[in-house]
Structure 1
Amino acid sequence: MTFHQIIKLRNLLLGINFIAVLFNSSLFLFLSRYISENQLDYQLLTKLNSIPSNPMSVFIKSLILFFVLATTIIVRQIKAFSKLANNCILIFELILALAIFFILNMSYNGIFLLVFINLFLTNKDEVEFNKYKFWLLAGFMLLILFSLSDQNLINDFIKAPSLSSYIAFLPQSTGSMLSFIRSFLSLTNLMLFIVILLFYAQYLSSREQELKNKLEISKEFKSMADLTEHISHDKDRERLARDIHDTIGHTLTGFAVGLDAAIVLVDIDPNAAKKQLTKVSGSVKDGLINIRKSLNRIRPGALDNYTFKAALEELLHEFQTISHLQITLEYNWDAEKLEKTTEDVIFHIIEETITNSLKHGHAKEITVICSMKENYYQLVIHNNGRNAPDFKPGIGLTYLQDLVSSIGGKIKFDGKVGFTTIVLIPKESNIND
């Protein structure tokens, strides 16, 4: 049920109230004339507990006031007002409803249901479905007003001519039919009021759910943006790694060529060979400086500011925050002293693997296990994403293979159930052997 459809039901309620007001005011007018024409005025006065108002005045005033009320309701629906002006108009509508109620000699109290419905509909942006206190208070006020406006009850406190006394002068069949029409209009008004309230509660509930969904989508977009930023940082590190690779290759090539030239010159011209070796030494030193600068740039800042375990926990926490992943870390290297190079490699492997799990595997849960296996550091990373039994290593996995091989390690992948990455990196003592 859309809000526009609810407004249509409210307009139907407005029409029913117009018919009810017109019917009750007409009864006062025409029954007064009927009683007067049949010279039953004295008998009527003996049955009434107060002097009746001019029936024509009742008819005209009630219709004019209802017209003003209907106009106010419609105008407020199509035009926006400030909160203060809106509240003042609501009070004005309630005063109009009270005026109509008393002008009709308290014979019709359904007009209050129209005002209450309008109260809810014009405050839809301020009322939330889960604010039960508001609904309880509004319902309690409605119950009190409806109870107090019952003519049989209120006549004990406020004297007013009863329409039933007028109807009693008609033939029984005619009187019964008119009483039935009055009751039918009141009951229809009440039933439609309840229907509108139910649909309105449903509308608020669905709108609240829609807002929650939009909020979730907004959070997902933010997570994707954070993840994209994180991945871009990874790409920067990959570029730096390639720069290191190129620098090392260039330095080693220059070193080999310069050394060959020095070997040739050593027997012919020792001084020239010495100068050549000096050039080679300078070139190698420059290469080492460039490599060291690149390494400082590629090394994650977390590894400089925390212990390796704390840096891993910070990395995994960051991934959980930006992607809503459930990541479990089992760390059994507390007693181990890892080399900086090993730390860098393991850190990059975990970072790259989790990123791939999000980008390609759409995983929700990831387990990272850091353990020992003989003289090897064993790293196992498993995610519950999509299976990939026949995967072929792409650029990212090839990069990991090269990274692990650079420190004498081994890496293998298994995509049968989710995706698992297993890394074995020899301890320093094993490398020296």
Structure 2
Amino acid sequence: MGKSKELLFIRYISIFILVFQILILGAFLGGYTPQAGISSKIAPLIFILLFVINNHLRLFYFEKQWQVVGSICLEFAAVPFAHIYFGGTIVFYLIGVSIDIFALDNKIIRYFFGTGILILTLLPRFSTSREESFILFGLMAILFVLLSYISRLYSSKKEAQHLYDKLRISEEKLIKANDELEGYLQSIEEITLLRERNRISREIHDSVGHALSTAMIQLSAMETIADKEGSRLKPIAGNLRAFINESFQDVKRAVRELRPNEYEDYQGLLRLQEACNSFEKLSGVKVKVILSKGDWNLTSKQSSHLYRITQEVLSNSLRHGKATEIKVVMNFTKEEFVLSFNDNGVGTNKIEETGLGLKNIRERAEEIEAMVDMKSSKGKGFFIKVIVPREKEV
């Protein structure tokens, strides 16, 4: 608050008037006289210099509240003596301090110094008459009312800025989360599409292909029998067998085109997803799976170990954590595959890897050079993250 342009202008105007009163009009206001000694002439200059330095330290350098309060105390204690020895109007000594006390967060300190300032303006020693004392008191009271209003406005502005910052951060987080969800959704759609294409191609191969193959075998047998009996059905059966064979080849080509080559790349992810789906069906625990595809694939060893780790973690969440919901995130980065589990179980404040379950998880992770991070607290569930490094190509 004290650094606003308007209040800085008021502060420097008051200092300028005070300097003018002490150095130029000192003889008329009861301060030092030009006929006094050298030390008496230098003393006001030293005081003004220290006064300005103290104000600047409080404004631009002191960040902790106790430093600001110490500076205010020092100035508040020096003002009466400075007024007595160097002259000047008491109000101009106190304007800087008054502005700074309203910038303090502690209301008790603010009221203490504010009361002290008003008392100083009422003391006869610091004015030429009772009327002047009341005038100075009124001016300071008006200044306090204005400063109080400005302080409230400044506090409201700070709260509004804080709220805006929180909203902006929340918006950025929402945008980031939305982007991640869109990426996850796209990955799920692609993997689901690949799985469905693979299923359809397999069904066509197993049903239509098998039927056509059986029909060709039977037609070949009919052709052989017709040849032995000299029947005219032989050429008909041969033509029909050739036609079905050609259709069979067309079906095989269609199946090859329909079956995605990329499907094999996601076998590891699909196995993990199937483990989660199977656990959900058998246990009744809700398992939410979020996955994203990457530009590299898990090896068969990595997939096998992660499959067993997944089974163990899900089982522990139900058996030990009494969880009813588990969130599983599978995410590829450029050099790592991250598999994390977060349940809503009872949790624990101390994770003890004494049982076989957690030991097996860590041992399997070590075999694929993966890192394991476990976190838990009472009433906040259990979190475990497995980070698998990308296997370097030989």
Q: Per the shorter chain, which TM-score range?
A: 0.3 to 0.5
TM value normalised by structure 1 = 0.39
* Relative contact order higher in (CA < 8 Å, ≥ 6 apart): 1
